[in-house]
């Protein structure tokens, strides 16, 4: 069920106190795409700032997209087969809350600009820490870290409590500049911790999507700091974009991909006697479509309809949607998810599952 | 995308008028466990009594369980590789509604007993018709039919509109007797239709679960009528039972299966810092566990937690839950389904999927 990292678990008298009585263990990896996680004293080791990100995002897609994107970036630097993922243990809730606040006399560590809400926007909206561990003799040692910073693209604020919500679109240049400055300050603070002095620390900057967006934001820059670097000196631009299809604004999405989706959508809507809502999230890296999440909502009156519709969506997706990218398709009614289909990169077949009940 | 059954689709002048202009087509089978469905004039051919069953079930588990169970029974008589499933086209909405009503002067076809709600319970609660077709030269011909009848185990009624709901537990013997008599009446009515005179017609009787049950009811009898039989003379008892785990009443569930689930549940709840609700539907045929649907609900604060929890559930399920049966596990939060796992009969591995977003 889980791999015991230490023989210490059964009462051996070990030097390392932390691990002697109950032991630290890792969760078996069931899919090489996922990291192993850490169990401590029988419980899953959650983040020290658990829950803060949830509160920080009015649009939960900015939370899911941010975390998933950050995991992807981490995998490039800390492969899932070589490292164990420990949820952030160095920056706790109080610290994150202070850092996300404005700099002021009472909050000298605040990473957002001093000033009034109506004059000066908040840039830093959320942050996430991921720790990468390896087994070293009888304990887990930190060998790398990734810090994700979510920077606002639109700043939402109120002039009075419960008052109207105002919004200010932030300047692209300022978003980049503020993100990088904040990253430097955090790097310097982290390097003061003994265990973090010499490990590689990766920073990734994310531009938050507007609150009404049907897709999350996107990562636009990352930087790797080896050894004891205390300044991010090697920023790399990331060309990651997420769009919603159908694309009302017609900017960004490749027209072939857009036509493919339109054809798919038309076939689906023609087939079923109830109106089906068909939308998708399209994920682009360096201008290339790299993945798609399709959402289909419709009314169903029975299991046979769901099964037939799912089989139809399967063949229609194979015929019309782009090849060689991973695609997830969720089919839902007002009662929740009814079935889903998933195709991996390089595969020609969808895995399909129709949810049933006894 | 779909197989064209007729060459007629492109304007050939055919004898069979119905199929000449637009053609009837079947949906490709993407999984040998599913039937092909029927497309007519470009649209999916829905049931003629579409939607009635939804209204008839206060507990929607009685609808899902009924339909899935009926499909299983049908597969025994009309294999998915040999027959195409057409949703019921012979009994329409008006007819079903009349048949489900009480017999009376104004409704001579009513299959429920005459009398007042407070004196005489309604037995027949829902019915479903499934048509089994084969391709015969240039058209689909009906070659078999299954009729499912949902019989109440508890009769719920009001003495006045919007008044209190009363309930009466129905006698086992009466449930069986009424179900069989109703089946005979329906069989006689169906045999009057020319196309249905000589085909095998299968009847299956289902005992509806109470409205507050967390699992649907169960099929208790079936009968196959070959040729032009007009009376169900060969009823076979079905020993199918569905239970909810943990089993508060401790009746029916095999104690090994119950212990296995309890161990699984305890491991899950120990692991995660939030209380996790862990329940299951257990499906028994002839006293043997034949399948399980596990539902886990818990609060999550991030994607890494969901991924780790899913991997943990995977290995825990492999270790503790019974082997050699199909198992579905859904993991949900208040935001909906977060991940799911599914293992087929005979497999040692779960397919796992964590729902993500860009």
The tens place of each residue's pLDDT in chain A, 358 residues long, gives: 444 443 223 223 333 334 434 478 888 888 888 999 999 988 999 999 998 998 899 999 999 999 999 999 999 999 999 999 999 999 999 999 999 999 999 999 999 999 988 889 999 999 999 999 999 877 899 999 999 999 999 999 998 889 999 999 999 999 999 999 999 999 999 999 999 999 999 999 999 999 999 999 999 999 999 988 899 999 999 999 999 999 877 677 888 999 999 999 999 998 887 778 999 999 999 999 999 999 999 998 899 999 999 999 999 999 999 999 999 999 999 889 999 999 998 888 999 999 999 9
If DSSP codes are grouped into helix, strand and coil, which group holds residue A319? helix
Torsion of CA B3, B9, B15, B18, to 10 degrees: 80
Nearest to A336 by CA among B10, B257, B235, B340: B340
Nearest to A302 by CA among B135, B333, B280, B52: B52
B11-44 tens-digit pLDDT: 333 333 334 344 788 888 888 889 999 999 889 9
The token duo for B312 is 């943990």
Closest CB to B358 among A39, A267, A281: A281
Among chain A residues, the shortest Cα distance to B243 is held by A358
Q: Return the CA Rg of chain A.
A: 23
What is residue A30's DSSP assignment? S
User: Residue A18 in contact with residue A60, Cβ under 8 Å?
Assistant: no
Handedness of CA B314, B320, B326, B329 (dihedral sign): negative
The token duo for A227 is 């050894």
In degrees and rounded to multiples of 5, residue A314 shows phi and psi of -55, -55
Count CA atoms closer than 13 A to B106's CA, side-chain side: 2
Peptide bond into A246 cis (omega under 30): yes
Count CA atoms closer than 13 A to A66's CA, side-chain side: 30
Q: In chain B, what residues touch A310 (CB-CB under 8 Å)?
A: 30
The token duo for B189 is 């009515």
Count of other CB atoms within 10 angstroms of residue A166: 12
Which residues of chain B fall below pLDDT 70?
1-22, 250
Domain B243-354 falls in which CATH fold? GMP Synthetase; Chain A, domain 3 (3.30.300)
Handedness of CA B331, B333, B334, B340 (dihedral sign): negative
**Structural element, H or E, at residue A182:** helix A172-191
Among chain B residues, the shortest Cα distance to A243 is held by B358
What is residue B274's DSSP assignment? S
Q: What number of C-beta contacts closer than 8 Å exist between A and B? A: 213
Closest CB to B283 among A35, A128, A358: A358
**Distance between B119 CA and the closest CA of chain A, angstroms:** 32
The token duo for A82 is 């070589």
Q: What DSSP assignment string belongs to A154-179?
A: EEEEESSTT-PEEEEEPPHHHHHHHH
**Sheet hosting strand A277-285, strand order edge to edge:** A240-245, A277-285, A288-297, A327-333, A336-343, A351-354
The token duo for B239 is 């020993």
Q: In chain A, what residues touch B132 (CB-CB under 8 Å)?
A: none
Quote the pLDDT of residue B254: 86
If DSSP codes are grouped into helix, strand and coil, which group holds residue B70? helix
The span from the CA of B356 to the CA of A64, in Å, is 7
Among chain A residues, the shortest Cα distance to B268 is held by A43
Q: In chain B, what residues touch A128 (CB-CB under 8 Å)?
A: 302
Quote the pLDDT of residue A45: 94
**Structural element, H or E, at residue A146:** strand A139-151
Residues 6 or more apart whose Cβ sits within 8 Å of residue B353: A340, A342, A351, B339, B340, B341
The span from the CA of A337 to the CA of B343, in Å, is 19
How far is residue B201 CA from its own chain's centroid? Answer: 18
Q: Are strands B351-354 and A327-333 parallel, antiparallel or unpaired?
A: unpaired
Closest CB to A303 among B30, B39, B67: B67
- The b-or-e profile of B51-65 (16+ CB within 10 A means b, else e) is ebbeebbebebbbbb
Residues in chain A: 358
For B164, counting Cβ atoms within 10 Å of its Cβ (0-12 exposed, 13-18 middle, 19+ buried), the class is exposed
The span from the CA of A321 to the CA of A186, in Å, is 43
The span from the CA of A73 to the CA of A219, in Å, is 9
User: Residue A45 in contact with residue A89, Cβ under 8 Å?
Assistant: yes
CB–CB contact B67 A304 (8 Å): yes
Count CA atoms closer than 13 A to B223's CA, side-chain side: 21
The span from the CA of A242 to the CA of A72, in Å, is 15
Of the residues B25, B304, B328, B353, the best mutation for testing chain A's interface (the one with the most A CB atoms within 10 Å of its CB) is B304
Nearest to B60 by CA among A310, A338, A311: A338
Q: H helices of chain A, where? A: 52-56, 60-77, 93-100, 172-191, 255-271, 303-320
In degrees and rounded to multiples of 5, residue B165 shows phi and psi of -95, 125
Query: Same CATH fold, A243-354 and A46-238?
Result: no
Q: Are strands A201-207 and A139-151 parallel, antiparallel or unpaired?
A: parallel
If DSSP codes are grouped into helix, strand and coil, which group holds residue B325? coil
Handedness of CA B169, B171, B177, B180 (dihedral sign): positive
Closest CB to B1 among A44, A301, A316: A316
Handedness of CA A310, A312, A316, A318 (dihedral sign): positive
**Distance between B108 CA and the closest CA of chain A, angstroms:** 28
The span from the CA of A158 to the CA of B239, in Å, is 64
Q: What DSSP assignment string belongs to B194-229?
A: GGGSSS-EEEEEEEPPPTT-SS--EEEEEEEE-TT-
Q: Say which CATH superfamily domain A46-238 falls into.
A: sex pheromone staph- cam373 precursor domain (3.10.570.10)
B37-70 tens-digit pLDDT: 999 988 999 999 998 998 899 999 999 999 999 9
The span from the CA of B241 to the CA of B233, in Å, is 24
**Structural element, H or E, at residue B281:** strand B277-285
**Distance between A116 CA and the closest CA of chain B, angstroms:** 31
Q: In Å, what is the CA distance from A187 to each residue of A49, A233, B208, B336?
A: 18, 11, 63, 37
Helix (H), strand (E) counts: chain B: 6, 18
For B105, counting Cβ atoms within 10 Å of its Cβ (0-12 exposed, 13-18 middle, 19+ buried), the class is exposed
């Amino acid at each position: 069920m889980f791999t015991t990292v230490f023989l210490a678990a059964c009462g051996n008298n070990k030097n390392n106190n932390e691990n002697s009585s109950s032991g630290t263990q890792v969760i078996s990896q069931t899919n090489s795409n996922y990291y192993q996680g850490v169990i401590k004293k029988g419980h899953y080791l959650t983040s020290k700032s658990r829950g803060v990100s949830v509160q920080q995002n009015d649009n939960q897609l900015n939370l899911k997209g941010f975390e998933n994107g950050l995991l992807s970036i981490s995998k490039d630097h800390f492969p899932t087969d070589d490292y164990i993922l420990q949820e952030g243990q160095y920056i706790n809730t109080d610290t994150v809350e202070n850092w996300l606040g404005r700099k002021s006399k009472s909050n000298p560590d605040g990473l957002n600009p001093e000033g009034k809400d109506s004059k000066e926007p908040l840039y830093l909206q959320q942050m996430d820490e991921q720790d990468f561990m390896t087994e070293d003799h009888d304990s887990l040692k930190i060998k790398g870290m990734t810090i994700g910073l979510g920077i606002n693209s639109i700043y939402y604020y109120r002039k009075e409590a419960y008052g109207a919500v105002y919004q200010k679109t932030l300047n692209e240049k300022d978003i980049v500049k503020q993100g990088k400055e904040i990253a430097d300050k955090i790097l310097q603070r982290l390097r003061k911790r003994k265990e973090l002095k010499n490990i590689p620390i990766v920073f990734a900057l994310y531009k938050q999507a507007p609150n009404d967006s049907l897709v999350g934001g996107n990562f636009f820059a990352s930087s790797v700091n080896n050894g004891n670097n205390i300044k991010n000196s090697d920023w790399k631009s990331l060309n990651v974009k997420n769009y919603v299809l159908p694309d009302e604004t017609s900017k960004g999405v490749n027209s072939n991909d857009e036509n493919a989706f339109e054809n798919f959508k038309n076939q689906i809507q023609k087939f079923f006697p109830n109106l089906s809502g068909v939308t998708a999230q399209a994920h682009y890296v360096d201008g290339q479509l790299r993945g798609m999440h399709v959402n289909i909502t419709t009314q169903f009156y029975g299991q046979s309809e769901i099964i037939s519709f799912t089989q139809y969506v399967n063949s229609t997706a194979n015929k019309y949607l782009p090849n060689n990218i991973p695609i997830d398709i969720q089919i839902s009614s007002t009662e929740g998810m009814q079935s889903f289909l998933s195709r991996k990169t390089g595969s020609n077949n969808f895995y399909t599952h129709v949810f049933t009940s006894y």
